[in-house]
Structure 1
Amino acid sequence: MTKVDRKDAKLALAHMYVAFIALFIGGLCGLLQVLVRSGKFELPWGIGYYQVLTVHGVLLGLVLTTYFAMGFHTAAVSRTCGAYTDGQRKLGWIGFWIMTIGTTAAAIMVLLNEASVLFTFYAPLQAHWIFYAGIALVVVGSWILALMQGLRFAQWKKENKGQVTPLLSFMVMINNLMWTVATIGAAAVVLFQLIPWSIGWVERIDILLSRTLFWYFGHALVYFWLLPAYMVWYIAIPKIIGGKIFSDALARLAFILFLLLSIPVGIHHQLTEPGIDAFWKFLQVVLTMFVVVPSLMTAFSLFATFELRGRELGAKGIFGWFKNLPWNDSRFLLPFIGMVAFIPGGAGGIVNASYQMNQLIHNTIWVTGHFHLTAATTVVLTYFGAAFWLIPHLTGRKLTQRINHMAITGGILWSIGMVIMSGAMHIAGLFGAPRRSDYSTYGGSEQAVEWISYQVAQAVGGTILFVAILVIIGVVINLLWYAPKGDEEFPVAEVAEGAAKTPMILENFKVWGVILVALIIIAYTVPIIDIISNSPLGSVGYPHLIGR
């Protein structure tokens, strides 16, 4: 059994510790939110509603996802390319501690109620400059970790000239490249706009420019969450069910398409905003719709793997393979539920990005329900399923039957809670209920009463979800410290014998990098020039809100 190097395992585990601490605290704040919105609960000790909303969004949307992804990436490259050198590993620890210092700084400001600016930290909402500096440090630390992984990948290529790179490490490089390019937008808005403004060095900033730069980053962030889940689906799930990867080339092409189509689409989050010409909004809507292609390719590849394995086990008929899947294995069941949830989640994403339908649901709690189907169900359940083999592999322990049953219970509770909560969010959104709002502050209007009735359902779902979090945390604690010693596999499937040979063009990062830059230039150059040239600095439609 090929194992992750013990020194590399410590670095990957450090990321898991932070990720699951963020899950607990962020989940608790999510529970408090839905209880407050139900109108049946008030926050104690003077804690503000938007304070817990910010903690929930930042910890689960940024901290949990970034730390889990970087920890998983670290282990994945070590597993498939070999152990890092001492110098590379040192670089990784530097990146981890920079991220952690930044996370701590930002968290302290939120807890002090100096940064209740929500997950998106939009201007004209203003936070303490230390919050923005913390966010910048998280980005810089992640760049250093991506550099460590890239150096090991390059070393493997040098040592194995002419060979196709390990598929899992190739996927990590694609995700890191996308993340690095996308976070340039977040770094730019934080360093050159928000920090100088919050310190008082400048009186005003350009609101529309800051939002455009944020969404240049913000939509790619969604795929940075998602692609580690895709790695698990493509690489680990076939091995867990006893099958093989349907096509190496198809998997690489899907990831390349995600890379090309993840960044030049952020303006579809700004369809209702003035100051951006309709042509550029439409162009980015069209590019957004093309993202359906790699998703459908992935669905085809995965279900082909499931069917081939089922037929190996003697399945007959069109859907006979379905009953032969390992439903009693939490490592498979939770990611599979995540795959199924991505079907309505993806359909909701098409609604969000559609030029006309977006007008109905924009800035309603429908959007929040969509995020909870995609990020909080598809992505997070897959992360959980991966953690159930990754953590024991790194700690030298075993996933026992008792812990496996506990993990299945947590996954089922999560699914039930999310169906109730996300379903109520979608329905309330169609009736116009705004996102981010405490409905109890709307008074006794008929509309507010109707919203709150759905929010009671959200509170029920949110409570079940928090119970699920407690169960999952219990599983993780067992796998870290109490499970029996042993060897748990890091599952990496082989490619099916009949699969076509992988074309080397798919390995050429220069070609895909040039195409990516070209798409970004086409999609963003003219809109940003228009914003800068046509909007007097600091006005952009909100002069009364952003003057100091």
Structure 2
Amino acid sequence: MSEVIYNSETGVNHHQYRKHKIFEVNEKEENKVIDRKDAKLVMAHMYVAIVCLIIGGLAGLVQTLVRSGTLKLPAGIGYYQILTVHGIILALVLTTFFIMGFQISAISRTTGPLSGLSRRLGWIGFWVMLIGTAMAATMVLLNKATVLYTFYAPLQAHVIFYIGMALVIVGSWISAAGQMMGYFRWRKEHPGQKTPLISYMATINNVMWIVCSIGVALTVLLQMIPWSLGLVDRIDVTLSRTLFWYFGHALVYFWLLPAYMSWYAVVPKIIGTKAFSDNLARFAFMLFLFFSIPVGIHHQLVEPGIDVTWKYVQVVLTFMVVIPSLMTAFSLFATFETYGRKTGAKGLLGWLKTLPWNDARFVLPFIGMAAFIPGGAGGLVNASAQMDQVVHNTIWITGHFHLTVATAVILTFFGTMYWLIPHCTGRVLTKQLNKLALIQGYMWAIGMSIMSGAMHFIGLFGAPRRSTYSEYGGSKVAAEWIPYQIIQAVGGTILFISIILVVIIFIRLAFFAPKGHEPYPIATAMDEHLPTTKLVENWKFLIIVTIALILIAYTIPVSQMFIDPPPGAKGFGEGKLW
């Protein structure tokens, strides 16, 4: 048995680990590494993710400069073309590649090396996603797919774009199937035992992803591709948007749940303590599976063609997601406080001082947790039928996304990357790189606070999202917005500098950092010895409840789009998709 010491090269281990000896771990488990073949597969995903970060980050910087009036795009490049690159490459491609890579590593670390078939599925999924990404990106760069991040009708793209996006989805399904095979293989080999928490979480996220992405796959395959090929003259726009948002809101939780995986199962280990509750974490993830999908219509509260009763039902279901989110917040801060009390912290918030503020692997995810507090509050505003009327289609929504996915999620991904990359490459996070990572994290927090804060504020006064504001000419309203666009550009510039630091750290950790062992931190829980809460791993129950909630939320509103069109609508009520 040994004390919890992670890496003597980094200098980030706290004296209180040794002084207080909060808990001990098995040294063999502490030094466990993922299989080298699995590590190569993980790194392939990370290389694509970092390239996406560079391209998407540059597009984001250009957007803020154009909106502020300080940059005019050259060579006929369009603002909305840049906006499409930024949204799709970061929100859809970077996240999917990182999440698949991280989950592969988690499955390999906790359930054992991937089987030959699982690994082959991982590589097939990777290449299918990469080919699809290249196809879609080519069309966007050629300005033949300037359809924004949401890419739904009435905007139309080249058919190659839609085929490419479909391949990204299909590739992720293949990869997810390989991961789930590892999880269910472990269950079969260890009957009656509690499955590793992080592998359970990854499987929940994969199941949710497969179920929700069926919606976007249907609209792409049955509507967009025939339409873009000229096989049909028109498509049902309301149905298309509904199928997209059936996928689109669950997509938010596809981003969030891997961050939650890190918060629940990795961060406690990094700070040197046990997670608050294994069972609470599993129960929260079960609720996320139930309530993250049948809620997409709350993005369509101002749209015609959907009965207000069903909008209300989905608003209620949306607010149900608050429950597992609050459970997560309670669990995390209970973990931190328990750790602090054991190290001698006094007073209401004295435990905060005991946390490892010199360890980037903790600090970046913690900033993400803190950002999710106002981000979650903004989500409640967006989901409220009345308050949504104030902020709908304003740049407030953009600011909200940048607090959630672009801060809470992405900073957690960065913090994860700073131990995952060296673990996979056989290198270590040095003192110098740790300090640089801390600077990167704080710069991100400052830049995002400036940019997102300006977006939220100006959004309350009606400033539209996805706009250069040039159409407002020299109006008084447009003039009042200009200072806030400049503030956004300042924040965006700081964020881009932070991205440059991420790239530098990534390259160093992948190729140049000293050789050594960087542990893959997996926490145990205070209730590890207790049996799993009933039903949370009963997959028949989980799937039945998930499908039942989806049918309740969507059967009638979707059927009404075929048989009861809104007054004056054309192309509806004809009993077909277009």
Q: Does the C-alpha gap of structure 1 residues 337 and 540 become closer, same or farther in structure 2, counting only changes over 3 Å?
A: farther
1:19 aligned partner: 49
1:82-481 alignment to 2 at 5 Å?
82-481=112-511
Q: Does the C-alpha gap of structure 1 residues 273 and 2 become closer, same or farther in structure 2, counting only changes over 3 Å?
A: same
Instruction: Give, as a single letter, the amino acid of the residue that structure 1 aligns with 2:164.
Output: G
C-alpha distance in 1 between matches for 2:93 and 2:568: 31
CA deviation profile, 1:347-390 (whole Å, cap 9, x unmatched): 00000000100000000000000000000000000000000000
Deviation at 1:41, TM superposition (A): 1.1
C-alpha distance in 2 between matches for 1:75 and 1:334: 20
2:559 pairs, out of 494, 510, 529, with 529
Deviation at 1:345, TM superposition (A): 0.3
Q: Does the CA contact (< 8 Å) of 1:271 and 1:355 recur in 2?
A: yes
Q: Which has the higher helix share?
A: 1
Instruction: Give, as a single letter, the amino acid of the residue that structure 2 aligns with 1:376.
Output: A
1:494 aligned partner: 524
Deviation at 1:440, TM superposition (A): 2.7
SS at match of 1:113: coil
Unaligned ranges ≥5, structure 1? 543-547
Q: Does the C-alpha gap of structure 1 residues 499 and 285 become closer, same or farther in structure 2, counting only changes over 3 Å?
A: farther
Q: Does the CA contact (< 8 Å) of 1:215 and 1:266 recur in 2?
A: yes
CA deviation profile, 1:71-125 (whole Å, cap 9, x unmatched): 0000000000000112221111011000000000000000000000000002110
Deviation at 1:398, TM superposition (A): 0.2
C-alpha distance in 1 between matches for 2:112 and 2:129: 24
Alignment partner of 1:3 is 2:33? yes
1:545 aligned partner: none
CA deviation profile, 1:146-167 (whole Å, cap 9, x unmatched): 0000111111111111111110
Q: Does the C-alpha gap of structure 1 residues 539 and 102 become closer, same or farther in structure 2, counting only changes over 3 Å?
A: farther
1:44 pairs, out of 74, 89, 97, with 74
Q: Does the CA contact (< 8 Å) of 1:19 and 1:64 recur in 2?
A: yes
2:19 aligned partner: none
CA deviation profile, 1:305-337 (whole Å, cap 9, x unmatched): 111111111112221111000000000000000
Deviation at 1:509, TM superposition (A): 1.1
Moved more, 474-483 or 490-499: 490-499
C-alpha distance in 1 between matches for 2:154 and 2:466: 16
Count, aligned residues = 544
C-alpha distance in 2 between matches for 1:274 and 1:498: 50
C-alpha distance in 1 between matches for 2:35 and 2:385: 49
SS at match of 2:294: coil
SS at match of 2:536: helix
C-alpha distance in 2 between matches for 1:430 and 1:389: 40
Q: Does the C-alpha gap of structure 1 residues 536 and 318 become closer, same or farther in structure 2, counting only changes over 3 Å?
A: closer
SS at match of 1:505: coil
2:110 aligned partner: 80
C-alpha distance in 2 between matches for 1:118 and 1:66: 18
Deviation at 1:499, TM superposition (A): 6.9
C-alpha distance in 1 between matches for 2:35 and 2:146: 41
Deviation at 1:504, TM superposition (A): 4.1
Q: Does the CA contact (< 8 Å) of 2:283 and 2:533 recur in 1?
A: no
C-alpha distance in 2 between matches for 1:176 and 1:414: 29
Q: Does the CA contact (< 8 Å) of 2:277 and 2:527 recur in 1?
A: no
TM-score between both structures, scaled by the size of structure 1: 0.97
Q: Does the CA contact (< 8 Å) of 1:247 and 1:500 recur in 2?
A: no
Instruction: Give, as a single letter, the amino acid of the residue that structure 2 aligns with 1:313.
Output: T
Deviation at 1:539, TM superposition (A): 4.6
SS at match of 2:263: helix
1:520 aligned partner: 550
TM-score between both structures, scaled by the size of structure 2: 0.92
SS at match of 1:507: coil
SS at match of 1:496: coil
Q: Does the CA contact (< 8 Å) of 1:397 and 1:479 recur in 2?
A: yes
C-alpha distance in 1 between matches for 2:565 and 2:471: 35
Q: Does the CA contact (< 8 Å) of 1:189 and 1:213 recur in 2?
A: yes
